[in-house]
């Protein structure tokens, strides 16, 4: 059974429609990230699931029970869902233990049971020794773990997290990313994790829902988003993807197609139901391009516009194509030397034909 099931969800604020026909089915114990640009509707979707917003049409079910529809709205406190906010939402005047236990107290749980649950939850997030401290005396990462412990103590089987690492520095983000993965493994909870950081989303999630302008444009495994983006938006959003036009796309079987790209014949991956197209969009990543010998075929001529040192590799920005106006990016293993203006020959190792809309999957 799905932990969260969303169908045909629309949500507007006044005249502005923020969510359009959102449909998602999230399995029990699954870790789902929601990724998308600022303002695309991620937080609104989370607030609808949590019950902080009513919905205009469609329905949301939690563990098979209807919680939201236009004429039915279960209040947030009756949904059994924990929420971790970007700003942690801790009570500053309470100790760590009091913060974690507060929800249990409100629910009327006897003191001894409450204290045992709180201690266990704090142990799980490795804050057992911090029970008597106040939030002001904790680091940002520790405060975030208190917020997680609060969800654990409530025994929330579903935890919604709204950009929980957004306020933390890069170093701490890395450490807490591992913390979330551990939390998920230990608790077995269903996680719905909003972020606009794609590295975070791809690293943590079993599946990622990519949102754009209030719609889910793809809901898939991280590797599928990277290698088989369903739309130009996803292709451009994930892994510095580049989208360019190809001509004479012709399926050749086994999930591959031939095409003409920048005047050269190339072999690309494609959907099994790809049809012949006079032209279409293809996508690839900087790592899919390679430098070739001067007159190697097939290959493209290009010139370097910029080269930047990135530690293990050199990033080169190029202009290619007959009129030198198609921008490409290429990673070259260090040590390497490329200078602006230099002419190079480039080959495409791997690319993907973006399916036309009719071939797109439904979630
Ligand atoms: N209560 C509200 N009243 C009116 N408009 C709202 C309200 N809440 C959100 N919006 C609008 O809905 C749109 C989506 O907002 P939302 O916060 O869901 O986006 P988001 O993807 O979470 O963005 P961010 O990544 O910047 O947090 C925005 O245009 C926002 O201004």
Tell me which of 183, 198, 227 is where a domain ends: 227
Q: Are residues 263 and 208 part of one domain?
A: no
Q: Are residues 306 and 242 part of one domain?
A: yes
The larger pLDDT score, comparing residue 90 to residue 252, is at 252
* Average pLDDT score over residue span 169-195: 83
Atom of ligand 1 nearest to the CA of 194: 22
- Mutating to test ligand 1, I would choose from 18, 22, 45, 87 the residue with most ligand atoms within 8 A of its C-beta, which is 18
Q: Among 19-23, 275-279, 307-311, name the most confident range.
A: 19-23
Residue 358: pLDDT band with limits 50, 70, 90: low
Atom of ligand 1 nearest to the CA of 41: 18
Q: Are residues 188 and 43 part of one domain?
A: yes
Identify the CATH number of the domain in which residue 341 sits: 2.40.50.140
User: Which residues line ligand 1 at a C-beta cut-off of 6 Å?
Assistant: 13, 18, 36, 38-44, 196
Q: How far is the CA of 331 from the centre of ligand 1 (A)?
A: 36
Q: What is the pLDDT of residues 320-333, one digit of tens each?
A: 987 778 999 999 88
- Answer yes or no: is pLDDT of 166 > 90: no
- Answer yes or no: is pLDDT of 353 > 80: yes
pTM: 0.85
Q: What is the pLDDT of residues 97-110, one digit of tens each?
A: 999 998 888 878 99
Distance CA 13, CA 53 (A): 10
Q: Are residues 138 and 243 part of one domain?
A: no
Identify the CATH number of the domain in which residue 93 sits: 3.40.50.300
pLDDT of 300 reads 87
Element at 123 (helix H, strand E)? helix 111-124
Residue 26 tokens read as 């999230």
Strand partners, 34: 194, 209
- Answer yes or no: is pLDDT of 123 > 60: yes
Q: Is 213 helix (H, G, I), strand (E, B) or coil?
A: coil
- Mutating to test ligand 1, I would choose from 13, 33, 213 the residue with most ligand atoms within 8 A of its C-beta, which is 13
Q: Are residues 338 and 301 part of one domain?
A: yes
Lowest mean pLDDT among 21-30, 81-90, 120-129: 81-90
- Answer yes or no: is pLDDT of 363 > 70: no
Q: Are residues 278 and 309 part of one domain?
A: yes
Please give the tally of structural domains in the chain.
2
pLDDT of 361 reads 41
Q: How far is the CA of 9 from the centre of ligand 1 (A)?
A: 16
Q: How far is the CA of 43 from the centre of ligand 1 (A)?
A: 7
Q: Are residues 257 and 211 part of one domain?
A: no
Lowest mean pLDDT among 190-194, 248-252, 335-339: 335-339
Residues 302, 262: contact at Cβ < 8 Å? no
Residue 360: pLDDT band with limits 50, 70, 90: very low
Residue 362: pLDDT band with limits 50, 70, 90: very low
Q: Are residues 195 and 171 part of one domain?
A: yes
Tell me which of 163, 195, 227 is where a domain ends: 227
User: b/e string for 152-173 if b means 16 or more Cβ within 10 A?
Assistant: bbbebbbbbbbbbbeebeeebb
- Answer yes or no: is pLDDT of 234 > 60: yes
Residues 165, 195: contact at Cβ < 8 Å? yes
Residues 63, 3: contact at Cβ < 8 Å? yes
Atom of ligand 1 nearest to the CA of 46: 18
Q: How far is the CA of 41 from the centre of ligand 1 (A)?
A: 6
Atom of ligand 1 nearest to the CA of 196: 25
Q: Are residues 69 and 207 part of one domain?
A: yes
Q: Are residues 248 and 127 part of one domain?
A: no
Q: Are residues 210 and 139 part of one domain?
A: yes
Which residue CA neighbors atom 29 of ligand 1 most closely?
A: 39
The range of the structural domain enclosing residue 351 comes to: 232-359
- Mutating to test ligand 1, I would choose from 12, 15, 43 the residue with most ligand atoms within 8 A of its C-beta, which is 43
Which residue CA neighbors atom 9 of ligand 1 most closely?
A: 44
Give the chain's mean pLDDT. Answer: 89
Atom of ligand 1 nearest to the CA of 47: 18
Tell me which of 212, 227, 242 is where a domain ends: 227
User: b/e string for 232-263 if b means 16 or more Cβ within 10 A?
Assistant: ebbbebbbebbbbebeebebeeeeebbbebbe
ipTM of the complex: 0.97
Q: How far is the CA of 176 from the centre of ligand 1 (A)?
A: 26
Q: Among 98-112, 141-155, 275-289, name the most confident range.
A: 275-289
Residue 32 tokens read as 């789902």
Q: Are residues 169 and 133 part of one domain?
A: yes
Residue 208: pLDDT band with limits 50, 70, 90: very high
% of the chain residues with pLDDT over 70: 97
Continuous H helices in the chain: 42-50, 96-106, 111-124, 140-153, 170-187, 198-204, 222-227, 232-237
């Amino acid at each position: 059974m799905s932990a969260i099931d969303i169908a045909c969800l629309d949500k507007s604020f006044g005249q502005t429609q923020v969510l359009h026909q959102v449909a998602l089915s999230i399995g029990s114990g699954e870790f789902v990230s929601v990724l998308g640009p600022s303002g695309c509707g991620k937080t609104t979707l989370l607030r609808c699931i949590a019950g902080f917003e009513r919905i205009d049409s469609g329905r949301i079910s939690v563990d098979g029970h209807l919680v939201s529809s236009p004429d039915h709205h279960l209040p947030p406190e009756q949904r059994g869902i924990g929420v971790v906010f970007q700003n942690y939402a801790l009570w500053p005047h309470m100790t760590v233990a009091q913060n974690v236990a507060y929800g249990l107290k409100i629910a009327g749980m006897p003191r001894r049971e409450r204290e045992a649950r709180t201690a266990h939850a704090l142990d799980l997030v490795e804050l057992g020794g911090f029970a008597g401290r106040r939030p002001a005396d904790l680091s940002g990462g520790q405060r975030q773990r208190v917020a997680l412990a609060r969800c654990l103590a409530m025994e929330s089987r579903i935890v919604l997290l709204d950009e929980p690492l957004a306020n933390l520095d890069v170093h701490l983000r890395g450490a807490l990313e591992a913390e979330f993965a551990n939390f998920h493994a230990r608790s077995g909870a269903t996680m719905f994790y909003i972020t606009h950081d794609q590295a975070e989303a791809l690293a943590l999630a079993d599946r990622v829902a990519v949102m754009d302008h209030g719609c889910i444009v793809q809901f898939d495994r991280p590797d599928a988003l990277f290698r088989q983006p369903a739309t130009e938006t996803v292709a451009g959003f994930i892994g510095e993807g580049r989208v360019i036009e190809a001509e004479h796309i012709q399926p050749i079987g086994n999930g591959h197609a031939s095409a003409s790209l920048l005047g050269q014949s190339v072999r690309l991956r494609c959907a099994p139901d790809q049809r012949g197209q006079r032209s279409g969009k293809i996508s690839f990543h900087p790592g899919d391009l390679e430098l070739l010998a001067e007159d190697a075929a097939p290959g493209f001529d290009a010139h370097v516009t910029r080269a930047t040192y990135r530690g293990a590799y050199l990033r080169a920005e190029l202009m290619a194509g007959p009129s030198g106006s198609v921008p490409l990016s290429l990673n070259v293993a260090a040590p390497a030397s490329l200078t602006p203006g230099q002419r190079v020959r480039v080959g495409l190792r791997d690319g993907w034909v973006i399916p036309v809309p009719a071939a797109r999957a439904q979630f």
